[in-house]
Structure 1
Amino acid sequence: MSFSFSCVAIFCLLGACVLSTCLVRGMIGLAVMDTPGHRSAHDTPTPKGGGIGVMLAFAGVLPVLMYVTGQPLFSFSACALAAATLLLCAVSWLDDIYQWSPAIKFAAQCAAACIIVAGGIALPWPTPIVGAVLSVLWLIFITNAVNFMDGLNGLISGCLCVAALCMAAAATYLGVPALRWPALLMVFCLAGFLPFNFPNARIFLGDVGSQGCGLLAGAAALYTAAHSPLPSGWVVGPALLFPLIYDVIFTLIRRKLAGHSLVQAHRGHLYQVLHRSGIYAPAISLMEWTFTLWGMMVSCFVAPMPIMAGSITAFILVCVPQLVWTGFAVLRTRQHPVGAW
């Protein structure tokens, strides 16, 4: 890409950040409020829907950025991804307003995941059919995981911003250069939102932001797994998102063993327990950002390894800090009891 086109691409990124900032400020003025409940980390009603600013800025600038960087504008997979994201964001925003049944949200997640996979962003292994099923399940899971973890100032928006920045930096090394500019665009869109949410929250992402960004993150992980020429390149997405994945799976297993309902709202995630024990919310978010960065370092280290060795090594390395984090949570709650998890 020529120097002049690079300058235009950088201008697009800066413009996306400014657009995201303006839209987020507008959503603060719209004041669709998130009233705190027993699970909330905030004490006063706070606007939600900041994710609209992030997603609209991303959707508005991406076609221009793709054109400038020489990528196809109307490929079938790109159109399917856009349609799926639009569907999920629309349903999520209406749910933010009207508090729809969880069944409607789940149906929208399933439909969005199926659209993306039908568009061609899916695992080709072990067989095309099994890979498609696994891809749908992955997209549904990671969308919900990101949504579940969006409960503390800057946690999700910061983790996804770090993950996107890491992906942009390592895209060429991983053999997926097509992700570089979209990932950078997401970084700048989230950067326009973060100052309003971290360290003090003037607005939240809302479901429209957490689910929309979660779906895009899941799709990027699938694309990398399907297209990276490195033997263990597939681990990049799961490793980057592992702090979120671990917390959700650990919490589900622990609640199941304790006999609690898995679908009932609760405040037993590790990040919630640590916050309830008196730890400053931004400190928890910063640790989660660090875990995300560690996941990228691990994935780049193991990517050239044979698939079995790389997968096992990556799993061990990303689990170690999470196990230490869990042990710290147990010790912390013994010193500062928080009641039932």
Structure 2
Amino acid sequence: MAFWLVFLTAFALALIFTPIAIKIAPKIGAVDVPKDDRRMHTKPVPRFGGLAIFIGTTTALIFTVYGVLPMYQKYFAEAYPGAEFIDQPVSKMTGVIVGGVLIYILGVVDDLKGMPAKVKLLGQLVCGGVAYYFGVRINFVTNHFSALTDHIFFSGAISLVITLIWIAGITNTVNLIDGLDGLSSGISSIASLCLAYTAYIHGAYLTAFAMLALAGGALGFLPYNFHPAKIFMGDGGSLFLGYMLATLSIVGPMKGATVLAMIGPVLVLGVPIFDTGFAILRRLANHRPIMEADKGHLHHRLMAAGMGQRRTVLTLYGISGVMGVAAVLFSRDLFVEMLGLVAIAAMYIYIFLTDANHWKVSLKAVPAESAETQINGNTEIKIETLPPEAEEKVKMDIEQQMPEGITVTESDGTDDE
């Protein structure tokens, strides 16, 4: 019951505060205006939804750590013998909360004023340092590949570097997938629920509570963020989600289930991690800046294959769900089954990222206002947005075959639903 209470508290608060954020956003200038062809929306949309996720998650988390657990510590000790929160101080969770507040503020400043990528990365590292100071750190990982030792331990300096890389890496991974309506919030919800279950079955109940709070906050926001989105979460929301996933996954000792600390989130977030890695390699190969945005991400490829936003997002939800199940299987030492699921998911991701045959040209004839002007050739043909490397070639091929008076324009793919 206590687990459901934490989840429902975060869910309800996020659901209540999202409409409030929609009203506040225009007043403070937190509006996303489509400025380039990478944007999937055509009208200005508020981007202050991170406020609802932040309030819902943080309130539920504070309520759990400083209210529920101390009040019912005796009950939990009897109901959940060996639970990690019985022996572990709450200082680590304090570090997560403080760092979460700071990174949310960092994201809001970026949403309102803009921020250079290097400055934003520095801010993420500072927030990671705050968590590290409170004891949220990667000191060791489970060694499944050697009979000589069960764990690989890290010294202080190495632990700091690995922890900061982990937190910044996961934070940016979630931030980078915030490109379609409901994508980042949905995948973060799936990841949080899978990690909550994995933590629960291994006795990491404090982590399970916290992950459920995060899932509740993200799911409470999702109804307003799913296509067509009434509000975006903004960098404040995406950085907060990524930071919380990164820190909560390493907040406590997992005993024999240390895999949760590293492999679990990697598997659950396999889609955005793979997409981010592929994007970095793609930009390096094309001699372009790593931080430069493009239209070659997995969700762009899926839309180029003929899917609309809803189908693209639901497809990525499905792949993320498969990877989440793989994470649970891995934590239970079911390696063969886990590898089978990962192989299936990786195959589909690879096909959509590399196979040019999946680029679909969608022609839509838009009739003119009258039959007379239509006869005169005043007809517009739209093609769905393609990956950059194929876009110009397809345009040229079509234009060469079109009679005079017919134009070729790009469609953002949002009007097919």
Question: Is TM (by shorter chain) over 0.5?
Answer: yes
> Which letter maps to 1:159?
I
The 2-side partners of 1:12 and 1:227 are apart by 21
The 1-side partners of 2:250 and 2:258 are apart by 15
Is the 8 Å Cα contact of residues 110 and 136 (structure 1) preserved in structure 2? yes
Q: Which residue of 1 aligns with 2:195?
A: 167
Is the counterpart of residue 24 in structure 1 residue 39 in structure 2? no
- Alpha carbons of 1:172 and 1:57: their partners in 2 closer, same or farther (altered >3 Å)? closer
Q: Which residue of 1 aligns with 2:412?
A: none
The 2-side partners of 1:239 and 1:34 are apart by 31
Pair member with larger Rg: 2
Is the 8 Å Cα contact of residues 232 and 304 (structure 1) preserved in structure 2? no
Gap regions ≥5 residues in structure 1: 1-5
Deviates more, 1:168-177 or 1:211-220: 168-177
Q: Which residue of 1 aligns with 2:256?
A: 229
Q: Which residue of 2 aligns with 1:340?
A: 388
CA RMSD of aligned residues (A): 2.5
Q: Which residue of 2 aligns with 1:324?
A: 348
Deviations 1:161-198 (A, max 9, x none): 11112222232223422222222222221221111011
Q: Which residue of 1 aligns with 2:144?
A: none
Is the 8 Å Cα contact of residues 274 and 332 (structure 1) preserved in structure 2? no
Q: Higher helix proportion, which one?
A: 1
> Which letter maps to 2:297?
H
The 2-side partners of 1:302 and 1:326 are apart by 22
Q: Which residue of 1 aligns with 2:295?
A: 267
Deviations 1:214-244 (A, max 9, x none): 00001122236x4241364442111111111
The 2-side partners of 1:259 and 1:184 are apart by 42
The 2-side partners of 1:135 and 1:75 are apart by 19
- Alpha carbons of 1:14 and 1:75: their partners in 2 closer, same or farther (altered >3 Å)? closer
Q: How does 1:307-318 map to 2 (within 5 A)?
A: 310=335, 317-318=341-342
Deviates more, 1:167-176 or 1:202-211: 167-176
> Which letter maps to 2:202?
L
Q: How does 1:30-49 map to 2 (within 5 A)?
A: 30=24, 31=26, 32-38=30-36, 39-49=38-48
- Alpha carbons of 1:35 and 1:319: their partners in 2 closer, same or farther (altered >3 Å)? farther
Q: Which residue of 2 aligns with 1:57?
A: 56
Q: How does 1:96-175 map to 2 (within 5 A)?
A: 96-125=111-140, 126-129=153-156, 130-175=158-203
> Which letter maps to 2:47?
K
Question: What SS does the corresponding residue of 1:188 show, helix, strand or coil?
Answer: helix
TM-score normalized by the length of structure 2: 0.73
Q: Which residue of 1 aligns with 2:273?
A: 245
The 2-side partners of 1:109 and 1:316 are apart by 35
The 2-side partners of 1:328 and 1:213 are apart by 26
The 2-side partners of 1:137 and 1:218 are apart by 10
Q: Higher strand proportion, which one?
A: 2
Q: How does 1:275-290 map to 2 (within 5 A)?
A: 275-290=303-318
Aligned length: 330
Q: Which residue of 1 aligns with 2:244?
A: 216
Deviates more, 1:182-191 or 1:152-161: 182-191
Aligned identity (percent) is 22
Q: Which residue of 1 aligns with 2:81?
A: none
Q: Which residue of 1 aligns with 2:329?
A: 301
The 1-side partners of 2:387 and 2:160 are apart by 42
TM-score normalized by the length of structure 1: 0.88
Gap regions ≥5 residues in structure 2: 74-84, 141-152, 362-384, 390-417
Q: Which residue of 2 aligns with 1:3?
A: none
The 1-side partners of 2:258 and 2:233 are apart by 36
Is the counterpart of residue 255 in structure 1 residue 253 in structure 2? no
Is the counterpart of residue 81 in structure 1 residue 96 in structure 2? yes
Deviation at 1:335, TM superposition (A): 3.8
- Alpha carbons of 1:115 and 1:340: their partners in 2 closer, same or farther (altered >3 Å)? same
Deviation at 1:100, TM superposition (A): 2.3
